[in-house]
């Protein structure tokens, strides 16, 4: 009897002390978009990418305008955010598609916004979740006054694991520059 009780306590304590593991092991997702040659943008440049990439159209950088980004496959992500009211439909290219298209060879992304907000994002995020480079919200192009023109949106509503501080901080809006490095 005594041994049984002790044994149960031991088991319980071991269980409570053990780390909670990610039960849903995320699958590594690869992009189907191939390397793309981007011409010098004709329209207003909204994103400048530098660093360890193969595709470049401006000196050591790759500049992209809205049209070029819209040519990539578009995905609609319906989710709520901490900063918008209710659920919204965000539309834009998958970030891993963008990285694939630009010939990314790095594992880290340094993203910079107009408001001088900077954040380091691992490339693995893009291959784990359907992170999009949102350009539209509920059918409307994102304006500069409404967190536009580009907003890195995580699908929070469809994945609870994303509802965490680090992913909130990685969701950069008014994105203007990416630097890819290791």
Partner 1 sequence: MTNSNARFSSLICSIFLVVVVASIISSFYVHREVKGMQLNPDRIERILFMRQYEYELLRTTTAYVEAYSATPSDLLSRQYFNNWFSVLWSRANSISEGSVGAAAIEDGFNIEDLQQSLIVIDRLVYESEVLSLENYSTSLDLFKRLTESSHDYQQQRNSVHREISLQRQINFFQYFKAEFVLHMLTLILGIFVALYLARANKKLLGLGVKLEDLVKQRTEKLSYTNIRLINEIEKKQLTEERLLESQSQIERAKKKAEQKANYDSLTTLASKTLFNDRFEQALIRSRKAKTEVALLFLDLDRFKNINDTCGHNTGDQLLKMAAQRINSVLRDGDTAARFGGDEFALLLPDIKSFTSIEHIVDQIMIELRKPYNLSGNSTVVSASIGITLFPKDGEDTETLLRKADRAMYKAKENGRNNVQLFTQAMDDDAHARLFLETALYKAIEKKEFQVYYQAIVNNLNNKVTGAEALIRWPHETLGMIPPSKFIPIAEDMDLILEIGEWVLYTACRDVQRWQTAEGNPITVSVNVSYRQFIKQDFPDLVRKVLQKTGLAAQFLILEITERLLIEENQAVLAQFEELVSMGVELAIDDFGTGFSSLSYLNKFPISILKIDRSFIQDITESKDHAELVKAILSMAFNLNLRVIAEGIETSEQAKFLIDNNCTYCQGYYFGKPAALASFEKDFKKKNRIGSNTQQEVGESKLGTVTHMNLTDNSLIVLPSN
Enumerate the H helices of the chain as residue ranges: 2-17, 66-71, 95-101, 124-128, 165-170
Backbone angles phi, psi at 113, to 5 degrees: -110, 175
Query: Is residue 15 near partner 1 by the rule CB under 8 A?
Result: no
Residue partners of 80: CB distance under 8 A and separation at least 6: 86, 87, 88, 156, 157
Binding residues for partner 1 restricted to 113-172, rule: CB under 8 A: 114-117, 143-147, 163-165, 168-169
Q: How many CB atoms lie within 10 A of CB 71?
A: 13
DSSP state of 161: G
Cβ 141 to partner 1, closest distance in Å?
14
Query: Is residue 79 near partner 1 by the rule CB under 8 A?
Result: no
Instruction: Give the nearer residue to partner 1 in terms of CB position, either 10 or 54.
Output: 10
Residue partners of 41: CB distance under 8 A and separation at least 6: 57, 63, 64, 65, 67, 68
Distance CA 181, CA 167 (A): 20
Distance CA 53, CA 91 (A): 25
Cβ 78 to partner 1, closest distance in Å?
16
Q: Encoding tokens for residue 118? A: 């900077």
Query: Is residue 78 near partner 1 by the rule CB under 8 A?
Result: no
Q: Out of 4, 42, 85, 160, which residue is the one contacting partner 1 (CB under 8 A)?
A: 85
Cβ 163 to partner 1, closest distance in Å?
7
Instruction: Give the nearer residue to partner 1 in terms of CB position, either 34 or 85.
Output: 85
Cβ 29 to partner 1, closest distance in Å?
24
Query: Is residue 14 near partner 1 by the rule CB under 8 A?
Result: no
Query: Is residue 7 near partner 1 by the rule CB under 8 A?
Result: no
Stretch in the footprint of partner 1 (CB under 8 A) among 25-33, 75-83, 91-99, 120-128: 75-83
Residue numbers at the binding site for partner 1 (CB under 8 A): 2, 5, 9, 13, 81-85, 114-117, 143-147, 163-165, 168-169, 173-174
């Amino acid at each position: 009897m005594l041994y049984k009780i002790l044994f149960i306590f031991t088991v319980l304590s071991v269980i409570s002390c053990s780390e909670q593991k990610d039960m849903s092991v995320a699958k590594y997702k690869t992009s189907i978009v191939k390397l793309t040659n981007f011409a010098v943008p004709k329209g207003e440049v909204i994103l400048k990418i530098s660093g360890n990439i193969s595709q470049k159209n401006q000196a050591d950088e790759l500049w992209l305008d809205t049209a070029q980004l819209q040519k990539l496959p578009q995905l609609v992500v319906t989710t709520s955010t901490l900063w918008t009211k209710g659920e919204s439909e965000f539309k834009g290219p998958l970030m891993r598609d963008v990285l694939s298209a630009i010939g990314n060879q790095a594992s880290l992304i340094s993203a910079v916004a107009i408001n001088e907000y900077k954040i380091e994002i691992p490339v693995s995020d893009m291959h784990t979740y359907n992170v999009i480079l949102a350009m539209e919200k509920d059918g409307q192009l994102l304006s500069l006054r409404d967190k536009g023109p580009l907003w890195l949106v995580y699908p929070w509503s469809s994945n609870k694991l994303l509802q965490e501080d680090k992913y909130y901080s990685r969701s950069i809006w008014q994105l203007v520059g990416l630097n890819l490095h290791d």
